[in-house]
Amino acid sequence: MAYRNILTKEQEILRKKSRRVEVFDDKLATLIDDMYQTLEQAEGAGLAAPQVGVLRRVVVINVGDGPMELVNPEILWTEGEDDGLEGCLSFPGQWGFVVRPHKLRVRFQDRTGAVHEEEGEDLFARCVCHELDHLDGVLYVDKAEKMLTQEELEELVAEKQAEYEAEQEQAH
């Protein structure tokens, strides 16, 4: 496994549509393993192959239930809407509010080509949608209703920290 550089901002490849994976071989397995390591080192929730310079329909996510690899993913259905704060490893330090489905079902393959389906909500749904957008050359900044300034972000973090501390104090 190796750490790969994450492309940032408006590098042209981030705007290109990725091609389906047709060959499930050691090269694909290496890409997925490298993407896992890169995601872990960057402390992110998800990473799409175009973000490491590879125009293939491959995504890795890690949103609490352990890491998942999604090859040739497609969303089967969505339900509801949530407006939430979102960031991206390709836009370090930038955050914005994006409306995403509350719940979804996704079909995908793993590194061996086996087909799977997974249903999830909240952060899982947000992450899947965000990463699948990358596969189509769409960036979250295109969909953000509002991007936060550094001052707004700091205020939001301070507010959430105060809420957390108040909850902790009430629990004791």
Question: Is 155 a residue of the active site?
Answer: no
pTM of the model: 0.90
- State the architecture of 12-147 in CATH terms: Alpha-Beta Complex (3.90)
Q: What is the pLDDT of residue 97?
A: 93
| Percentage, residues of the chain above pLDDT 70 | 100
Annotated binding residue at 102? no
102 or 65: which leads in pLDDT: 102
129 annotated ligand binder:
no
Distance CA 159, CA 1 (A): 39
Spatial separation of the C-alpha atoms in residues 45 and 64, rounded to whole Å: 9
Catalytic residue among 119, 121, 131, 169: 131
Res. 133: pLDDT tops 80: yes
Each domain of the chain, given as residue ranges in start order, spans: 12-147
> How many Å from the N-terminal Cα to the C-terminal Cα in the chain?
44
172 is in an annotated binding site: no
